[in-house]
Homo-oligomer: A and B are copies of this chain.
Amino acid sequence: MLRDIGVAAFEDLVDAVPADARLKRPLRTPGPLSEVELRRQVGRWSESNAAARAVSFMGAGLYDHYIPSAVNAIAGRSEFATAYTPYQPEVAQGTLTVIFEFQSMIAELTGCDVANASMYDGSTAVAEAALLARSQTGRARIVVAGALHPNYLDVLRTYLDGKGLTVVTDKGGQCAPEDLQAALGPDVAAVVYQHPNFYGLLESPRTLHRLAHGAGALAIAVCDPVSLALLDPPGAAADGDPGADVVVGEAQALGNPPSFGGPLLGFFACKLGLVRRMPGRIVGRTVDTQGREGYVLTLQTREQHIRREKATSNICTNQGLLATRATIYLSLMGREGMREVAEQCVRRTHRCLELAEAIPGYRRAHDGAFFREFALECPVDAAVVCAAGRAAGVLPGVDLGQFRPAWKRWLLVTATEQRSAEDIDRWAQVLRTAGGAR
Contacts and interface: CB of A to CB of B under 8 A. Distances in A.
B66 A418 contact: no
Contact of A77 (B34, B77, B418): B77
Contacts of A40: 420
B417 A66 contact: no
Interface stretch (A68-76, A84-92, A234-242): A68-76
B417 A68 contact: no
3 residue pairs, one from A and one from B, having the closest CB atoms: A36-B66, A36-B418, A35-B69
Contacts of A420: 40
A68 B66 CA distance: 28
Contact of A417 (B36, B76, B78): B36
Contacts of A36: 66, 417-418
A76 B417 CA distance: 28
Main secondary structure of the interface of A (DSSP, over half): loop
B68 A35 contact: yes
Interface in A31-71: 34-36, 40, 66, 68-69
A77 to B, nearest CB: 7
Contact of A66 (B35, B66, B76): B35
11 contacts: A34-B66, A35-B66, A35-B68, A35-B69, A36-B66, A36-B417, A36-B418, A40-B420, A73-B76, A73-B78, A77-B77
A338 to B, nearest CB: 15
Nearest to A76: B73
Interface residues of A, number: 14
Interface of A: 34-36, 40, 66, 68-69, 73, 76-78, 417-418, 420
Contacts of A69: 35
A418 B34 CA distance: 10
A162 to B, nearest CB: 44
A66 B33 CA distance: 14
Contacts of A68: 35
Nearest to A68: B35
A76 B35 CA distance: 19
A39 to B, nearest CB: 9
A78 B417 CA distance: 29
Contacts of A34: 66
A83 to B, nearest CB: 15
Given A35-B68, A35-B69, A36-B418, 8 more contacts: A34-B66, A35-B66, A36-B66, A36-B417, A40-B420, A73-B76, A73-B78, A77-B77
A40 B69 CA distance: 14
Contacts of A417: 36
A343 to B, nearest CB: 15
A63 to B, nearest CB: 14
A339 to B, nearest CB: 16
A73 B75 CA distance: 12
A425 to B, nearest CB: 15
Contacts of A76: 73
